[in-house]
Chain A
Amino acid sequence: MANFKESASQTAGPYVHIGCVPTFAGLEGMYGGKDLGNTMITGNPAGKRITLCLRVIDAAGEPMTDAMIEAWQPGPEGSFGPTEGFNHWGRQPTDAETGEAIFKTLMPGAPTGQTPHILLWIAARGINMALITRVYFPENDNAADPVFAIAGERAATLVAEKTDNGYVHTIHLQGDHETVFFDV
């Protein structure tokens, strides 16, 4: 019996790490001992190196310590690659204690018709279909971006904060500062 509708989504569950970041999960030696997507800068690409520290906060105000976040972004010139020495895609688990997921990457450029941004995809226990959001940078004219504009008065939830240690961005699943999530 043929089905031609998208397979229904199910939660990644609490053990997503076994499948996607097995070394982080403690499976010694699996896949050569290196988690896929762990390193975005693999060579010496041109562009500005940045650190993006993400946290995901649940409705109780607690950082989620069992999530997995993927990032997909343009390179410094705004193209989606491939780019020598750079992976446009990265994947990080949130830290079991701090809840932080840290991406060491390049500052994205502007794809045609858009402002520089990184697409984020968040999977975890309790999330029935992975959540899609974007992160923008405070130094840019983000209002000119068509997707940023759709977010209207909640668009501020999409902008990272610049700190001495790089960019920091907190994703709130609910509450007064609930981050904008997209159906795209």
Chain B
Amino acid sequence: MTGLISARDLDWHPAPLAPDYRSSILRSPAHALLHYDPTETEMTGPTFGHNMLGALDDNLILNYANPGEAAIGPRIIVHGKLIDEDRRPLPGKLIEVWQANAGGRYRHKKDGYTAPLDPNFGGCGRCISGEDGSYSFQTIQPGPYPWPNGGNDWRPAHIHFSVFGDGFAQRLITQMYFEGDPHIALCPIVQSIPSTQAINTLVARLDMSNTIPMDIRAYRFDIVLRGRNQTLFENKMEGL
């Protein structure tokens, strides 16, 4: 049995209703979320083993490409650590990613953007975090793309992340952005996050120390899930 999971700071996350992001208008509950402390149901969650992974699952440059070919676009490594709010690594956790191709087009029947599909790019990858919580993907840098919202809205280049923790209460979907992208400040989805500080946690930094010369650049993106145990202990101490 595992310990309590620290409470979620709802003011740190986007509110359900963010009117500038129009899709949220019809898809946000009107009532406030009802709080309860995690039970066994939320403190447990599925586990995933490395044996479920294929050799190229973490390589979006190659995992949909024809033999001998590769996806087109700026080659990048996206890597970082999966940790919790108590600063502990989360090993053995499934991380799934999806993204548009270098032109900003998704391989999806609902995406009608004029940018072409890349026959060698599918757009998804997955991996399982290592003992120290580290994870890594190889991919191509996605392009920005237009979307129907306010008339002239463009998403900053981004990679979608789906992350599992130890307990289901830690489950998170988010998006990673790229340092220096001027669309970050203009995007209603990004700006649904209340604070600049919270937005900055989703911005990957160019990481020259892990860049492979003449081959592939690296971006660093750490992911933090809700903490557990330690906070409970500290709270008890304060109460004494």
Residues of A within 8 A of B (CB): 3-20, 22, 25-27, 30-32, 36, 58-60, 62, 64, 66, 70, 72-74, 80, 82, 87-89, 111-114, 117, 119, 121, 123-132, 134, 146-147, 150-151, 154, 173-174, 178-184
Contact = CB atoms under 8 A, between A and B. Distances in A.
A83 B157 CA distance: 41
B34 A181 contact: yes
Contacts of A66: 110
Nearest to A11: B189
Main secondary structure of the interface of A (DSSP, over half): loop
Most buried by A among B41, B57, B172: B41
A89 B107 CA distance: 27
Interface of B: 8-10, 12-16, 18, 21, 23-31, 33-42, 44-47, 52, 54, 57, 63-64, 83, 85-87, 96-98, 106-111, 122-124, 126, 160, 162, 168-169, 171-175, 189-190, 192-193, 198-202, 222-226
28 contacts: A3-B222, A4-B83, A7-B224, A8-B174, A10-B193, A17-B108, A19-B98, A20-B162, A31-B54, A31-B57, A31-B126, A72-B46, A80-B44, A89-B45, A111-B41, A119-B41, A125-B23, A127-B24, A127-B28, A128-B15, A128-B28, A147-B36, A151-B34, A173-B28, A178-B29, A179-B29, A181-B34, A183-B34
Nearest to B57: A31
A182 B35 contact: yes
B13 A8 contact: yes
A27 B41 contact: no
Contacts of B33: 132, 181-183
A125 B27 CA distance: 8
A150 B23 contact: no
Nearest to B17: A128
A27 B30 CA distance: 36
A130 B34 contact: no
A155 B27 CA distance: 20
A179 B29 CA distance: 8
A180 B35 CA distance: 11
A121 B168 contact: yes
B87 to A, nearest CB: 6
A127 B27 contact: yes
Nearest to A17: B108
A111 B110 contact: no
A123 B96 CA distance: 14
A126 B110 CA distance: 15
B175 A10 contact: yes
Contacts of B124: 18-19, 22, 27, 30
B172 A174 contact: no
B133 to A, nearest CB: 13
Best-buried of A72, A112, A150 by chain B (most CB within 10 Å)? A72
A7 B223 contact: yes
A9 B107 contact: no
Given A18-B124, A131-B29, A5 B168 contact: no
A119 B64 contact: no
A74 B57 CA distance: 30
Contact of B173 (A30, A74, A130): A130
A15 B108 contact: yes
Contacts of B41: 72-74, 80, 111, 114, 117, 119, 134
Nearest to B173: A12
B98 A8 contact: no
Q: Which of A123, A126, A127, A180: most chain B Cβ within 10 A?
A: A126
Contacts of B52: 36
A87 B27 contact: no
Nearest to A65: B110
